[in-house]
Every structure is written in structure tokens, then in C-alpha cells.
Amino acid sequence: MNFPLDLAFKKIAISPQVKVSDASGNVVLYTKQKAFRLKEAVTVFADVEQTRPLFTIKADRVLDFNAKYNISDPLGRHVGVVGRKGRRSIWRAHYEVYGGGQAMTIREESGWVKVGDAIFGELPVVGILSGYVFNPSYVMTDAAGAPLMRLTKQPAFFEGRFRLERLAQLGPDEEALAVVSFLMMVLLERRRG
């Protein structure tokens, strides 16, 4: 993939859609989450027209406090798992990613940004500017703690914008798993603010 990648979605939408573009502006991943589903199931496509499915992500349970999301390819072969750590994610988002013989962790870099965004967002009139003031970032590390990728929220008004940067070389399978894991994390975290 041609990094950095840009993730974009509308903040107010019944069916959330996330478009991932590479450094040249080409769409490399697209997903449209179905509204009002009890159990998460997301298909990731290679195009906006949704003609070329690349991955399917399915939750293992209805409640997502400690849910695991199984990632598979279009033929149903297991690619990996991304799991949200419930209690650890209350203060700072924390996800574990397993697949391809490698364990990775995604963590929010500062819990204070989330608190500030939540408080500032509730203020009358000026609260609509919270998307410009508070921009959380998330870092993916390997089992040894070495940083692999960083996702940073970009200032935006009526949409969510994130930039994903590669900090270390990964194999193509691990890189795809990492990007899809960040995509699922963005879908889950956007509900939390």
C-alpha cells in the first residue's frame, strides 16, 4: 500500500461508511456498516461500488464490551482477530490483534484527549469545534513494543478524518491485517466520540 493512508467518514449517518485512500488519492478500501444490527458484521471492499470484497469482519457476540472480531478473506479463510479490551478501553482505547503468527496491540496514546473532547463537545455553541481542538492518536506496536503504525485524527468539521502512517516495514499479509484492524477500530470508536 502507498502510505500514508487517509480514512474518512461522515459523522452523522445512519449507515456509517469509511473510505480509505492512499497517498495518491486512490480508494484502496471501502466499507459501509449496516445500521441497526445486533451483531457486528462488516464487509470491506476494494472499491466504492462494492463489487470486489476483500475481507469480512464478524463479531463473536452481541455486546461489544470485550468482543472479538474475526477477519476472513472472501473465501472464508481466517486472516486474523481484533479484540477490544473492555476495562482497559474505558480510559484509553486498547485493542489486541492476532494473525499471521504475529501479535500486535493498538493503544490510544493519551486518555486525556478523550476526556477533553467529551467535555468540550458538550459545551453549547463552541462544542461543535471539538473536532478541531482534540485529535486523538493511536499507535500499533508489536509484541516487543516496537511501533508499527500510527493513526492520528485530523481536524475536520462534519466528518471524521484520520491519517494512518507506517512506522516500520511489515509483510503484505501483516500490513493488510493491521490496516483492516484500524478500520474496524475506527468504526467502533466513532460511536464513543
Note the pLDDT of residue 166: 97
| Dihedral of the alpha carbons of 117, 90, 177, 99, in degrees to the nearest 10 | 170
pLDDT value at residue 44: 96
pLDDT value at position 131? 64
- Answer whether 117's CB lies under 8 Å from 135's CB: no
User: Tens place of pLDDT for every residue, the chain, 193 residues?
Assistant: 899 999 998 777 677 789 999 999 999 999 987 766 656 789 999 999 999 999 999 988 776 667 899 999 999 999 999 998 765 555 678 899 998 777 999 999 876 766 677 676 677 776 666 666 778 899 999 999 999 999 998 887 777 889 999 999 999 999 999 999 999 998 887 755 4
Predicted pLDDT at 96: 94
Determine the topology of domain 5-192 in CATH. Porin (2.40.160)
> Rounded CA gap, 46 and 58, in Å?
18
Kind and range of the H or E run holding 121: helix 111-121
Cβ atoms of 11 and 158 closer than 8 Å: yes
Residue 121's pLDDT is 67
pLDDT at 135: 80
pLDDT of residue 56: 95
Could you tell me the three cell numbers for 52? 470486489
Answer whether the bond into residue 4 is a cis peptide, omega within 30°: yes
Please state the domain extents for the chain: 5-192
Residue with cell 472472501: 74
pLDDT at 130: 65
- Picking from 106, 93, 87, the residue whose alpha carbon sits closest to that of residue 177 is 106
pLDDT at position 167, please? 97
Beta-strand ranges (E) seen in 33-178 are: 41-45, 53-59, 68-72, 78-84, 94-99, 102-108, 137-142, 147-154, 159-166
Rounded Cα gap, residues 137 and 153, in angstroms: 6
What is the pTM (predicted TM-score) of this model?
0.86
Count the helices and strands in the chain (H runs, E runs): 4, 12
- Cα separation of 53 and 162, whole Å? 23
What is the Cα–Cα distance from 193 to 183, expressed in whole angstroms? 16
